[in-house]
Structure 1
Amino acid sequence: MPSTNKTGADKPSSDRKDKLQFLMVTCGFNVYWILAVWGQYRFIYLLVLMLIMSWWFFSVNWRFVLSASLIGIVMDATLYHTGFYLFPDGGFPLWLILMWFGFTSFIWISRKVIQSYSSNVLIVLGSVGGMLSYIGGNRLEAVEWPLGWVNTALMVALCWLALSYILLTLLSMFSASQRSS
């Protein structure tokens, strides 16, 4: 629903501004994703620089970013320790941790547009998108799937289904607390 001014007239320019910002931030995050997944450790300094710049230019709720990133990192670490993931360097990668901070920052920065959609649609899109992201990571040889493609893809999709619900719940909670303060 478009926002209205004091006279009750629609303000579509604010809606357009949010969508334009969403498009620009999405493009920026896609560059971030490619640098992290394809570049891995070669571009760590760029990932850190991009994070600092996004935090500088956008108001980021640190509690949301830290909480949501920690949940995502624990999910990936669990999949790693249970044998679903294997990383080329043999350990749990720093670039993946930075990816979580970038992803959750992207969610926070884009929250107005994200929250304008149905939660059910976002949860399904999160599940499919999360799985596709890890398929992309597998194709770029950033992560191996020792338990096989089908088993791992299904497990990742299920994990991202639950994670999407959790992230949307956190986003709603932290957005509400930010509005009330």
Structure 2
Amino acid sequence: MKLLALTLGFNAFWFLCVVGRDEWLWLTFPVLAIHLALVPRSLPMALSVSMLGITLDTLMIHFDLFAFDHGVMPFWLMSLWMGFGFYCWHLKPSLANMPILVVMLGGATSAAASYYAGFKLGAVDFPFGDLLTLSLVFTSWAMLCAGLHWWSSREVKSHEAV
């Protein structure tokens, strides 16, 4: 039940970022600040995941796989990455207990669907077309999710040993 509530909460945050974009960006800051105030120990993972994601998307922009209105990564996407980082922190126990292939395939499929939804909503453009872009998103996210699984497993085991 907790996982469902967290996922619904993250999806609402995704909607706020992707549909609202720059117009609703200001609403994302209190959400992130409240989360940080309630769960300050989640900050290191959230920062790490968000920096990794921002780097990945910056590479996608650099190689013209993603295109945004202003030609650079929008602030709403950076905020979304921070929200995803906090979400990942809460997912650690679940991720650690799932088979790595499930995490990779589930995460990669969800990511490709998320980027495709953003494309359909006009938040991002795919200059090289849907198939190539979404294939690369799927592949890169499968690797990202493998890393998140490894990190989550390591963190959960280190807390069990204490």
Question: Structure 2-normalised TM-score?
Answer: 0.91
Equivalent residues of 2:116, 2:134 under 8 A apart: yes
> CA RMSD of the aligned region, Å?
1.7
The aligned residue for residue 3 of structure 2 is 22
Point out where structure 1 has 5 or more consecutive residues left out of the alignment. Answer: 1-19
> Following TM superposition, by how much is the alpha carbon of 1:119 offset from its aligned partner in structure 2, in angstroms?
1.7
In structure 2, the CA distance between the partners of 1:175 and 1:67, relative to structure 1 (3 Å rule), is farther
Equivalent residues of 1:64, 1:171 under 8 A apart: no
> Following TM superposition, by how much is the alpha carbon of 1:112 offset from its aligned partner in structure 2, in angstroms?
2.3
Correspondence for 1:127 among 99, 105, 108: 108
Larger CA deviation: 38-47 vs 131-140: 38-47
Correspondence for 2:124 among 111, 131, 143: 143
Q: Match for 2:5: what amino acid?
A: M
The aligned residue for residue 152 of structure 2 is 171
Aligned pairs (5 A) from 1:1-181: 20-58=1-39, 60-178=41-159
Equivalent residues of 2:48, 2:85 under 8 A apart: no
In structure 2, the CA distance between the partners of 1:59 and 1:115, relative to structure 1 (3 Å rule), is farther
> Following TM superposition, by how much is the alpha carbon of 1:58 offset from its aligned partner in structure 2, in angstroms?
3.2
- SS across alignment from 1:145: coil
**In structure 2, distance between residues paired with 1:100 and 1:46:** 15
Equivalent residues of 2:95, 2:149 under 8 A apart: no
- SS across alignment from 2:50: helix
**In structure 1, distance between residues paired with 2:159 and 2:26:** 31
Between structures 1 and 2, the one with greater helix share = 2
Q: Match for 2:66: what amino acid?
A: Y
> Following TM superposition, by how much is the alpha carbon of 1:162 offset from its aligned partner in structure 2, in angstroms?
0.9
> Following TM superposition, by how much is the alpha carbon of 1:64 offset from its aligned partner in structure 2, in angstroms?
1.5
Give % identity.
Answer: 27
**In structure 1, distance between residues paired with 2:30 and 2:158:** 28
Question: Structure 1-normalised TM-score?
Answer: 0.82
Q: How many matched pairs?
A: 162
Point out where structure 2 has 5 or more consecutive residues left out of the alignment. Answer: none
Equivalent residues of 2:10, 2:84 under 8 A apart: yes
Tell me the alpha carbon deviations over residues 64-111 of structure 1, each in whole angstroms, 9 at most, x when there is no partner.
111121111111100000000000222211111111110110111232
**In structure 2, distance between residues paired with 1:174 and 1:69:** 18
